[in-house]
Amino acid sequence: MQSRSETLHLRSAGTSVVIDLTTPGFPAIIHWGEDLGELSQSQLADMAIAARPQRVSGGLDTPSRLTLVPLESAGWQNEPGLVGSRHGHDFSPAFDALEAHNGTVDEFDATSVTLRAVDKHTQLELETTLTLDGAGLLHQQHTLTNLGPTDYELQHLLATFPVPQSARELLDTTGRHLRERSPQRHTFTTGRHVRDSRRGRPGADSTLFLAAGTPGFGFERGLVHAVHLAWSGNQRVAAERTVGAHALLQAGELLSPGELILAPGESYTTPDALGSWGDGLTAVSARFHESVRARASHPSSSRPVTLNTWEAVYFDHDLDRLARLADAGARVGAERFVLDDGWFHGRRDDTAGLGDWFVDNEIWPDGLAPIVDHVTALGMQFGLWVEPEMINTNSELARAHPEWILQAGGRLPIEGRQQQVLDLSNPAVFDYLLERFDALLRQYAIAYLKWDHNRDLLEAGSTVTGRAAVHSSVLALYELLDELKARHPELEIESCASGGARVDLGILAHTDRIWTSDCIDPIERLTIQKYTNVVVPYELMGAHVGGPRSHSTGRQHELALRAGVALPGHFGIEWDISQLHDAKLDELASWVDAHKRIRELAHTGSAVYADLPDESADLRGVVSRDRGHALFTYTQVTSSTSYPPGTITFPGLDDDRAYQVSLAAPTTPLEGSGQSTLAWTEHPVHLTGRVLRTMGIQAPVLFPEQLRLIDIFAI
């Protein structure tokens, strides 16, 4: 890092961030993107001069600047970065006496700077830390401290990232239960585009990221900048373009009225806001993935192939049936068996029992030991479904402690899925849940918890404080997860939330994977997994093979499509395979073997997506770090207007290396609607990465909803 008193330059992994410390109000990022190389102190100072705008007619005498915390006191006339007051007073802070502390964080070669300023009038201190990590990912966090003698109510404190003027198109995601992370695009015009999540969790309809780029940017090309908020509660992400030629992305926690009141001496730190950039979304994604994989909490062992019982048996917990299912799982190569909902007191359906975390003696008269022992004797890990944050009003816990339920005005919120939500910020609730799950983990050989969260929060108030409690509940959740893992270091935890309604890097700092969606229809999963994968690497994405008929869409698909779409993720099975005949078990086992063969490649390599001109097809792959091996899946999603289809091109390879291209098991040989053989599948071809990227190869003729694997090895 190079610095002087007026300008700072952070550099890492092809990224430069230049910060002007002289801008009115607070420092500003004047460049975030391509590495600018070694710059002298005078060159950095000249960059700051070059970025200063002129005064214009009808404007302020001091032109407004886009700072890290844009403020009205410095002339910013759009959404301020900081909003709050002391009962209506001290509503417009103006920080001065800036201090900048430069330092290098040892972990992952990250470069950082901390900026600290004080407003003596409002008696607030603002500290901002910018960290450029070893992946070139920009982290931004603010800490606001109340130095005054009275309470200060914070409304919002947002991280602000400037984007270049070429960013004229926005991409974010929306969705619903069973269809999360569906992409949507629109022109980035003057004004503000805001995506709020008010569900107490990000929600199925929330955006995982907000990207701004050159019009038509795709995965392979187009300059694009994107932000993600690592937070598991209410949040706001926004994009804004002003008439003053400013373009920006913002991200921060969304607070309810009165939710965050800083007493004298108290501080609030924003969630980690992460910014990535690159030529195409694949480059943006690579920075997220590399950064996540470098975290100390990232799983270091191979992700076990998981057999989950939910879509196999639902609430029908019969020991003999479950034992047969476990036997079949071991037969096909599963490494983890997860007993889903229905094992605890009073839980015959989803209307009762949540909160009563004791093994049901009617269903399990000998406890869980018989099924745990059976599973572990087969060489598999045992996992258990739990939903600690939730409670049914028809439960012993709710009857004993109705005051433990999040509520407002002395009334319970509208129910969702016949359940309410516990107040984890209440110490009594926290202690009860910690005791219950710690006891279960001590009693049984449980290696894995599927931690569910099956409803949105409404009127989420605490009976202890009388205030909104989403913020405090999320922090308590993180603490509970960490404490359980500290007491049981080998424990892994999955974050599930009505499927994929709590997917963020905040929850993934405390868990080991997310359940990507309750929908495992492979056609739906193509989109869901693609846009989840922009931020979340494959090894943290639960991806299971369902039965022949999808439980969520009713569509029927061949095993090759169901398994092929799930193949690169944290692979598993969600299907009653106990009744399958040997031939079908062997076929499933071949897919489990295929996953194990490519598991290291998929979970350490680079995820790439081809921008095919024919939208009827999908081509995606994983490329090894040394670019010596790649595996692609080609899916004919719908029928094409071209017949036979055109060529397909392969991104991510080394232009100057030669590769052999061939179909890969278990999708060989090629069978479909083609009337002759496909030449390159009969006679292996050797082509350079440049040829494969530019000219490509002829796509196979397939029926709609068919998939083939393509192996590419460097010669």
Catalytic residues: 452, 518
The gap from C-alpha 329 to its chain's centroid, in whole angstroms, comes to 29
Separation between Cα atoms, residue 312 and residue 323, nearest integer Å: 12
**Residue 196 token pair:** 């709020």
What counts of helices (H) and strands (E) characterise the chain?
13, 39
Torsion of CA 190, 195, 196, 202, to 10 degrees: -160
Where in 150-209 does DSSP place strands (E)? Answer: 152-157, 159-162, 169-174, 182-187, 191-197
Which DSSP letter does residue 28 get? E
User: Cα–chain-centroid distance for residue 491?
Assistant: 21
| Contact by Cβ (8 Å): 339, 371 | yes
Of all helices (H) and strands (E), which one includes residue 110? strand 110-119
Q: What is the Cα–Cα distance from 369 to 257, expressed in whole angstroms?
A: 48
Angle of helix 582-604 relative to helix 559-566, nearest 10 degrees, comes to: 20
**Cβ atoms of residues 547 and 613 within 8 Å:** no
Q: Could you give the CA distance from residue 328 to residue 592 in angstroms, rounded to a whole number?
A: 13
Which DSSP category does 412 fall into? P
**Cα angle: 54, vertex 60, 64; to 5 degrees:** 65
Instruction: Say if CB 357 and CB 386 are below 8 A apart.
Output: yes
Closest CA to 632 of 645, 651, 613, 647: 651
Question: CA–CA separation, 250 vs 237, rounded Å?
Answer: 5
Identify whether the C-beta of residue 65 lies closer than 8 Å to the C-beta of residue 91.
Answer: no
Residue 2 is classified by DSSP as E
On whether the CB atoms of residues 220 and 610 are closer than 8 A, the answer is yes
- The answer to whether 335 and 381 have CB atoms below 8 angstroms apart is yes
- The letter for the amino acid at 375 is V
Q: Can you tell me the distance from the alpha carbon of 202 to that of 210, in angstroms, rounded to the nearest whole number?
A: 14
One-letter identity of residue 367: G
Q: Could you give the CA distance from residue 566 to residue 163 in angstroms, rounded to a whole number?
A: 35
Helix axes 319-332, 369-377, angle to 10 degrees: 20
The residue assigned the tokens 């002129």 is 54
Q: Which residues contact 373 (CB under 8 A, 6 or more apart)?
A: none
State the Cα–Cα distance between residues 145 and 446, nearest whole angstrom: 42
State the amino acid at position 408 in one-letter form: A
From first CA to last CA, the distance across the chain in angstroms is: 40
For residue 618, what are the β-bridge partners? 635
Residue 359: DSSP 8-state? B
Distance (Å, whole) CA 707 – CA 636 = 6
